[in-house]
Amino acid sequence: MLNRRNFLTAAVGVAATAGLAACAKEDGSSSDSSGGGSKAITLGFAQVGSESGWRTANTDSVKASAKEAGFKLQFSDAQQKPENQISAIRSFIAQKVDVIAFSPVVVTGWDAVLKEAQAAKIPVVLTDRSVDSDESLFVTLVGSDFTDEGRRAAKILEKVLEQAGHKGKVKIAQLEGTTGAAPAIERAKGFKEVMDAEHKDDWEIVASQTGDFTRAGGKQVMQAFLQSNPDIDVLFAHNDDMGLGAIQAIEAAGKKPGKDILIVTVDGVKDGFVAMSEGKINAIVECNPLLGPQLMEVVKTVHEGGKVERWIKTEESDFMQDQAKDALPTRKY
């Protein structure tokens, strides 16, 4: 697993230093600020899929930023299947793209295809999710610290429990993200770190299962949770979409989401904020999907042989229910 703490973290400074000097022309070709013509950079991007509101916002950001940068974008949607991403990367290699970027569905199984890209002298940039591969096989990761998001979820749950006046034991159900995906592994790890350190005697995870980051998955698994654990106090969902699906199951069971079952989710998509403003989600840990601008800066710098930090971290914050209404109009995704 990529140990993010081994990497220097960088503010968005790489964006300031590299700067997108190229200005895009209508035909997608670009010229640098010195006015000299140059062939447009071709970027091969293998996206996870379209499983959640976060992913849609991430795809929109990548496409808009590539256009803005004047890059030629070859985009593929893997429908959450790692094998589809591997085929897409192989086709990018065959097309001799300048740079490959992808958000790996899961952390394992990438060594062979990354070695093929290395042999073809095509730099690979990870965006959003990391891989459990040799770090020499990719240039950098542009994305969030998921372990810290898990810690933040546990810390904000402390505030939610206090505000709700909850006393005594806390029975927690956990809706995990896609099995084997970095955000699922690391959010669970961060949440458990805080639990083990500060809530050994009062918090207990009574049920934990993947809902695959989708609303349908969240609803289906929550239905099962409620049958086997009617006395759940809290739901921790690894993304808003599974939380929104779970809300449907909770209401169908005659319970009040946000009251009978306190809910903490991760992402911060608009629908999550709407649910929070309606009192159905108690807190959201933001995970910023708008990685496009940072990614394109990195692609340009890498293509020009420049140096980038090993991890370009995204800035994000956390929101309690009473902040939802004011924050909604300002949300960008």
> Is residue 210 involved in binding ligand GZL (CB under 6 A)?
no
Beta carbon nearer to ligand GZL, 84 or 239: 239
What's the order of all strands across the beta sheet hosting 311-313?
9-10, 311-313, 140-143, 124-127, 99-102, 42-47, 72-77
> Is residue 55 involved in binding ligand GZL (CB under 6 A)?
yes
Beta carbon nearer to ligand GZL, 140 or 239: 239
Beta carbon nearer to ligand GZL, 30 or 239: 239
> Is residue 52 involved in binding ligand GZL (CB under 6 A)?
yes
- What is the four-CA torsion angle of 88, 93, 98, 100, rounded to 10 degrees? 40
Q: How many residues appear in the chain?
A: 333
> Is residue 175 involved in binding ligand GZL (CB under 6 A)?
no
> Is residue 129 involved in binding ligand GZL (CB under 6 A)?
yes
Beta carbon nearer to ligand GZL, 239 or 294: 239
> Is residue 219 involved in binding ligand GZL (CB under 6 A)?
no
Beta carbon nearer to ligand GZL, 170 or 281: 281
Partners of 102 in the β-ladder? 46, 126
What is the nearest approach in angstroms of ligand GZL to the Cβ of residue 29? 32
The rounded distance, in Å, linking the Cα atoms of 75 and 63 is 8
> Is residue 144 involved in binding ligand GZL (CB under 6 A)?
yes
Q: Which of 98, 145, 148, 267 binds ligand GZL (CB under 6 A)?
A: 267
Q: Identify whether the C-beta of residue 144 lies closer than 8 Å to the C-beta of residue 313.
A: yes
> Is residue 176 involved in binding ligand GZL (CB under 6 A)?
no
The rounded distance, in Å, linking the Cα atoms of 268 and 273 is 6
> Is residue 212 involved in binding ligand GZL (CB under 6 A)?
no
Beta carbon nearer to ligand GZL, 30 or 55: 55
Residue carrying the six token digits 């290699």: 93
What is the nearest approach in angstroms of ligand GZL to the Cβ of residue 242? 8
